[in-house]
């Protein structure tokens, strides 16, 4: 201030300060502040749907969706989505009606993520690997009014619809044909119920149906139901908007990425990235089938920059034979989530040149809300140590309000000791509205204390990073000790012959339960490695009570469509073996 010509008076600072000491009775503005609030210009609902119109303006001529020989631009995708919304409206689909899709990662699947909610309807993506009975249950429960179905999945839908009770009005069916799948059964072209015909009836200048409130439902996703009946998770426009923005910031996705759809979009809407790609003008490379040759080819052909997948996808990439793997010509970034990745798998895939980010989320959060935010100083550590740190789920993403691990008995935060287990709880703008038609389950998950209870069990490390130990139902309780099946599995993955491992509780007469490991061995190891050897190997590496007392070799472990091991199948097998009786190796614990 002195240099700018204001007269410098020689102030007596202490006198000055004394003159301006605490004053009471200021003319406070709090009351005037409180008069201000939401207004018509700032309270228009948050929604991710607006990303699409902007993408058409900014990236109009750039590729939006690529699938084999088909390439759409953002202008085209925008107009196709408006046509879809318009056509659905013309068919009588209205606000909050449910529209289901039974589709692999093809362009129609991408378009449904905008076109369906732009008609005011709620998008329900159905897991394509479910059996007909479950599909029927979901269609009935959701009250779905229309189904977009891939030609290859028509038999599945046919079976499902036949299982619907006759008094249940069947949803309308729209067939999505795939001109690139020559070997599939195809209907006669004379039907007006194909997807492309439907789009032709739609208006590309349609005024899309904006939500009346940002809390309006937009998405209905059924949980995979590894144990209980599937629950219908409902998300609103606001929640999806928030998780989309948060995921882009957290993963630091730059503009115009090339995103390979290795993650099924039916799985929690591809963790919000269908909307995120529109926000950034990315290119969505679609894949009907995910196997190592397709993925490596797509990475090379399309110069892929980003992809997502459960740890099983990472394992697939890492275990691909020499001839299938292709060198990476540029950095390819992978986001993995869905189940805890074994450190050994992270290590292998990073050694190949992939840059892995590890996140954690649930269908109930619409995407990842915790991630292993990487610290520069960790780069100095040995690779195996880096992988161990990266296997931790981490810290909340910037936009989440709070994440904690609590003792379910007391409700208090567990100590930050990396050992005391508790339930992971969280709160923030992208937590679901609730479970459709299931107030009881909603209340059990979203409690009056303001937290969403995930059902996942974890520990808090001293540095504030959390790590999942288990689903609460997967914890093995042996002689009063809680054993994390994930922890035992992680160690088994370190065995040179182990390809996959899953650990569940087996009844034990003395200990109540003891760990039972189901192991699939790498090629060449079958018949060479024995159960006794694996047990002996384990005993050198973990506390006695954690060592599997039973080891069962299997060709492949049963998995859900999203790569999660179906532990309830293994638990059933373990139960059927009957309890371990006294006198077994358990005496050495």
Nearer to a second copy, 377 or 540 (CB): 377
Nearer to a second copy, 107 or 429 (CB): 429
Beta bridge partners of 45: none
Please choose, from the candidates 280, 330, 339, 278, the residue with its C-alpha nearest in 3D space to the C-alpha of residue 304.
Answer: 330
Token pair for 581: 């009786």
Least gap, CB of 174 to a second copy (angstroms): 9
Nearer to a second copy, 451 or 493 (CB): 451
Beta bridge partners of 404: 425
Nearer to a second copy, 250 or 513 (CB): 250
Least gap, CB of 185 to a second copy (angstroms): 7
260 contact partners, CB below 8 Å, separation of at least 6: 285, 287, 295, 298, 299, 302, 304, 306, 307
Round to whole Å and give the CA distance between 179 and 7: 81
Q: Is 189 exposed, middle or buried (0-12, 13-18, 19+ CB in 10 A)?
A: exposed
Round to whole Å and give the CA distance between 56 and 26: 53
Least gap, CB of 82 to a second copy (angstroms): 16
Q: Between the CA of residue 288 and those of 109, 219, 280, 338, what are the distances in Å? A: 11, 23, 23, 20
Q: What is the dihedral of CA 50, 52, 54, 57, to 10 degrees?
A: -150
Least gap, CB of 502 to a second copy (angstroms): 21
Nearer to a second copy, 179 or 464 (CB): 464
Least gap, CB of 137 to a second copy (angstroms): 14
426 contact partners, CB below 8 Å, separation of at least 6: 365, 369, 370, 396, 400, 402, 403, 404, 451, 452, 454
Token pair for 270: 């591809």
Nearer to a second copy, 306 or 506 (CB): 306
Give the number of C-alpha atoms closer than 13 A to the C-alpha of residue 212, restricted to the C-beta side.
Answer: 4
Give the number of C-alpha atoms closer than 13 A to the C-alpha of residue 456, restricted to the C-beta side.
Answer: 26
Please choose, from the candidates 531, 458, 522, 528, the residue with its C-alpha nearest in 3D space to the C-alpha of residue 493.
Answer: 522
Nearer to a second copy, 496 or 555 (CB): 555
- Helix, strand, or coil (residue 507): strand
Nearer to a second copy, 6 or 323 (CB): 6
Round to whole Å and give the CA distance between 190 and 430: 44
Nearer to a second copy, 454 or 538 (CB): 454
Give the number of C-alpha atoms closer than 13 A to the C-alpha of residue 223, restricted to the C-beta side.
Answer: 21
161: part of which helix (H) or strand (E)? helix 154-163
Nearer to a second copy, 34 or 576 (CB): 34
Least gap, CB of 164 to a second copy (angstroms): 10
Residues in the chain: 589
Asked if residues 136 and 161 have their Cβ atoms less than 8 Å apart, the reply is yes
Least gap, CB of 130 to a second copy (angstroms): 10
Least gap, CB of 496 to a second copy (angstroms): 32
Least gap, CB of 225 to a second copy (angstroms): 18
Least gap, CB of 155 to a second copy (angstroms): 5
Least gap, CB of 83 to a second copy (angstroms): 19
Nearer to a second copy, 373 or 525 (CB): 373
CB atoms within 10 A of CB 334: 21
């Amino acid at each position: 201030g002195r240099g700018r010509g204001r007269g410098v008076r020689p102030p007596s600072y202490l006198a000055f300060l004394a003159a301006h000491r605490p004053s009471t009775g200021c003319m406070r503005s709090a009351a005037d502040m409180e008069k201000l609030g939401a207004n018509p210009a700032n309270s228009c609902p948050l929604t991710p749907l607006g990303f699409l119109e902007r993408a058409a303006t900014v990236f109009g001529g750039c590729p939006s969706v690529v699938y084999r020989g088909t390439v759409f631009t953002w202008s085209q995708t925008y107009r196709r989505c408006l046509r879809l919304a318009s056509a659905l409206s013309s068919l009588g689909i209205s606000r909050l009606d449910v529209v289901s899709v039974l589709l692999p990662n093809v362009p129609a699947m991408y378009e449904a993520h905008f076109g369906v909610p732009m008609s005011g309807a709620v998008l329900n993506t159905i897991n394509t690997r479910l059996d007909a009975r479950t599909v029927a249950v979901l269609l009935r429960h959701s009250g779905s009014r229309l189904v977009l179905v891939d030609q290859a999945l028509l038999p599945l839908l046919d079976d499902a619809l036949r299982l619907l009770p006759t008094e249940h009005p069947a949803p309308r069916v729209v067939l999505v044909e795939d001109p690139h799948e020559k070997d599939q059964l195809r209907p006669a072209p004379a039907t007006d119920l194909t997807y492309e015909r439907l789009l032709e009836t739609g208006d590309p200048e349609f005024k899309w149906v904006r939500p009346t409130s940002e809390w309006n439902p937009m998405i209905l996703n059924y949980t995979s139901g590894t144990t209980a009946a599937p629950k219908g998770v409902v998300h609103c426009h606001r929640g999806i908007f928030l998780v989309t923005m948060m995921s882009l910031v957290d993963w630091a996705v730059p503009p115009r990425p090339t995103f390979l759809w290795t993650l099924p979009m039916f799985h929690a809407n591809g963790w919000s990235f269908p909307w995120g790609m529109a926000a950034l003008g990315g290119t969505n490379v679609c894949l009907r089938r995910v196997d190592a040759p397709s993925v490596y080819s797509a990475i090379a052909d399309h110069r892929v920059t980003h992809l997502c997948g459960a740890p099983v996808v990472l394992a697939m990439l890492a275990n691909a034979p020499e001839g299938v793997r292709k060198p990476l010509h540029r950095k390819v970034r992978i986001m993995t989530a869905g189940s805890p990745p074994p450190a050994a798998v992270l290590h292998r895939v990073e050694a190949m040149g992939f840059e892995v980010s590890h996140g954690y989320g649930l269908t109930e959060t619409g995407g990842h809300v915790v991630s292993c935010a990487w610290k520069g100083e960790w780069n100095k550590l040995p690779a195996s140590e880096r992988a161990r740190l990266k296997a931790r789920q981490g810290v909340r993403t910037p936009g989440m309000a709070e994440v904690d691990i609590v003792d379910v008995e007391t409700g208090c935060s567990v100590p930050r000791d990396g050992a005391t287990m508790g339930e992971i709880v969280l709160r923030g703008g992208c937590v679901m509205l609730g479970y459709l038609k299931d107030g009881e389950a909603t209340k059990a998950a979203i409690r009056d204390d303001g937290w969403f209870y995930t059902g996942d069990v974890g520990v808090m490390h001293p540095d504030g990073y959390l790590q999942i130990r288990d689903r609460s139902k997967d914890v093995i309780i042996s002689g009063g000790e809680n054993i994390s099946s994930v922890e035992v599995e992680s160690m088994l993955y370190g065995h040179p012959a182990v390809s996959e491992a899953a650990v569940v509780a087996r009844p034990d007469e003395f200990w109540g339960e003891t760990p039972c490991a189901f192991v699939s061995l790498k090629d060449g190891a079958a018949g060479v490695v024995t159960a006794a050897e694996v047990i002996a190997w384990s005993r050198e590496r973990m506390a006695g009570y954690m060592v599997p007392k039973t080891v069962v070799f299997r060709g492949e472990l049963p998995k859900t469509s999203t790569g999660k091991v179906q532990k309830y199948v293994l638990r059933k097998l373990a139960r059927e073996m009957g309890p371990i009786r006294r006198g077994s190796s358990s005496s050495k614990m």
